[in-house]
Structure 1
Amino acid sequence: MEVLVTGGDTELGRTVAEGFRDSGHRVVISGARRDDLEVAAKELDVDAVICDTTDPVSLAEARSLFPQHLDTIVHVPTPRWQDGDPRTYSLAQQATAWHNALDTMVLSAALTLQTIGDNLKAGGAVINVVPESPRDGSAQAAIKAALSAWTADQATVYGTRGITINVVAAGRGSQPGYDGLSATPPSTAAEITRLALFLSTSSARHVTGQTLHVSAGQLAHFG
């Protein structure tokens, strides 16, 4: 199986890529930060495509470099950090926070799929990742809802080719000592990777248009 993992220049993207590689798949990673991406590609022994998925020009220039016959696309956003307390943001800082969340989580996923969606084989899978559980009422929470709605709509589009598309999101973590958990529960990155692997298999053909949370098996409540 041929897999593209965007955000390969992040720790989460690298973990996801490593999980697919260790499962015997051919993996290509992409990312905008050349140095981080090249280090990850060398250490994982995978191919890399330098590309900013929030930039249509960058995507257009890199289009021919992506694998032409993909089985799975795992979209891992690359966060743009903003310092300070959101409660004290100026109007300009607030606008930047919203633009950053929208660009990295939704725009990048939409542009990537528009650019190389035709490269997906029938029966393939798209997994959009939300790396962290956002605070209620935050820009990230609103943008996560937008990503979920867009993903559900795309399921009707790509379903005609037997392609599934889902969101895998970090849930609210379990508390230490929670019944049924081991002393060292798996990391969020490991859980995201495991669920992404499952969604790319034939056993998950019935799951599409969904937002699925990983939270160490804890029953979580999401507003």
Structure 2
Amino acid sequence: MTRSIVVTGGGTGIGRATAARFAAAGESVTILGRRADVLARAAEQLGATAVVCDVSDPDALTAALGQLPAQVDVLVNNAGGNTDLRRPAATTLADVAAGWRANLDANLLSAVLTTTLLADRLQPGGTVVGIGSIAASRGSGGGSYGATKAALATWNIDLAGQLGPRDITANVVSCGYIAETEFFADQLTEQRRGTLIGQTSTGRAGTPDDVAALVEYLASPGARHITAQVININGGAFPTR
């Protein structure tokens, strides 16, 4: 039976790769994003449905509800990113507050609002996957990005508890350095890139499809007893035991 998949931030990078995997498997895929041109191009190439929406905006999400599937089997909360990289350096307390709120909106509230909006449409046997970050465990250089991803992981514990009785799982995929995305906003130097790769055991950057493959597994029948977890995908850059 064809499943209904919803991916936020589905126009580029990890979101697009995730949507592509599900679409290639014959699933019905809906992608959300803010940029109409990017989203339309991805939807045409993947055979997906595009819904233009800022998923951190409650009013925009509510207005988009009629365009979203009546039943949702897999929700991938991928939208987000380090908004500090696209803002000028903070010089006042107001700047600091605005910067923190921007990252909270992008990385935590986007997932909370989208999941809450679609909660009644999530089907038994389904799954919710949030895209987290290695920064949740080791920080993000003094900004708020890592803190918001840590909050996402903590919220996921409560979410899994709420959805579990309905036979719905909820997990976070925590990513290390993933190449071929817009995350660094063209600010990644070759030296920094080399450092990030050098921290891995695999000797390479991750790819969007590496992450997409893990998301696909978490949405598969073989992962039905995995929930309330943070699953790391970083090539060994942040080892655990």
TM-score exceeds 0.5 = yes
1:155 corresponding residue in structure 2:
160
- Identity level (%): 33
Residue type at the aligned position of 1:151: N
Residue type at the aligned position of 1:82: R
Please say if 1:220 is aligned against 2:222: no
2:230 corresponding residue in structure 1:
211
Aligned-residue offset at 1:189? 1.6
1:115-154 alignment, distance < 5 Å: 115-130=117-132, 133=135, 134-135=139-140, 137-154=142-159
2:98 corresponding residue in structure 1:
96
CA distance in 1, matches of 2:130, 2:143: 19
Contact 2:160 2:227 in 1 (8 A): yes
Residue type at the aligned position of 2:19: A
1:76 corresponding residue in structure 2:
78
CA distance in 2, matches of 1:105, 1:22: 27
Contact 2:74 2:126 in 1 (8 A): yes
Q: TM-score scaled by structure 1?
A: 0.86
Contact 2:62 2:117 in 1 (8 A): yes
CA distance in 2, matches of 1:177, 1:131: 15
Aligned-residue offset at 1:176? 7.6
1:39-118 alignment, distance < 5 Å: 39-79=41-81, 80=83, 81-84=85-88, 89-118=91-120
Gaps of 5+ in 1: none
The superposition leaves residues 173-195 of structure 1 with CA deviations (integer Å, 9 ceiling, x where unpaired) of: 552894xx4x7x46342221111
Residue type at the aligned position of 2:233: V
Residue type at the aligned position of 1:189: P
Contact 2:55 2:113 in 1 (8 A): yes
Residue 86 of structure 2 aligns to a residue whose secondary structure is coil
The superposition leaves residues 121-147 of structure 1 with CA deviations (integer Å, 9 ceiling, x where unpaired) of: 101000011266452543111111111
Aligned-residue offset at 1:165? 0.6
1:66/1:212 CA distance change after superposition, 3 Å: same
1:188/1:91 CA distance change after superposition, 3 Å: farther
Residue type at the aligned position of 2:165: T
2:216 corresponding residue in structure 1:
197
1:213/1:77 CA distance change after superposition, 3 Å: same
CA distance in 2, matches of 1:8, 1:155: 23
1:114/1:177 CA distance change after superposition, 3 Å: closer
1:24 corresponding residue in structure 2:
26
Contact 1:71 1:120 in 2 (8 A): yes
Q: TM-score scaled by structure 2?
A: 0.80
Residue 165 of structure 1 aligns to a residue whose secondary structure is strand
1:186/1:17 CA distance change after superposition, 3 Å: farther
Contact 1:129 1:168 in 2 (8 A): yes
CA distance in 1, matches of 2:200, 2:111: 37
Aligned-residue offset at 1:24? 2.8
Contact 2:206 2:234 in 1 (8 A): no
Moved more, 206-215 or 10-19: 10-19
Of the candidates 1, 4, 9, which is equivalent to residue 2 of structure 1?
4
How many residue pairs match? The answer is: 215
1:175 corresponding residue in structure 2:
198
CA distance in 2, matches of 1:137, 1:221: 22
CA distance in 2, matches of 1:41, 1:58: 20
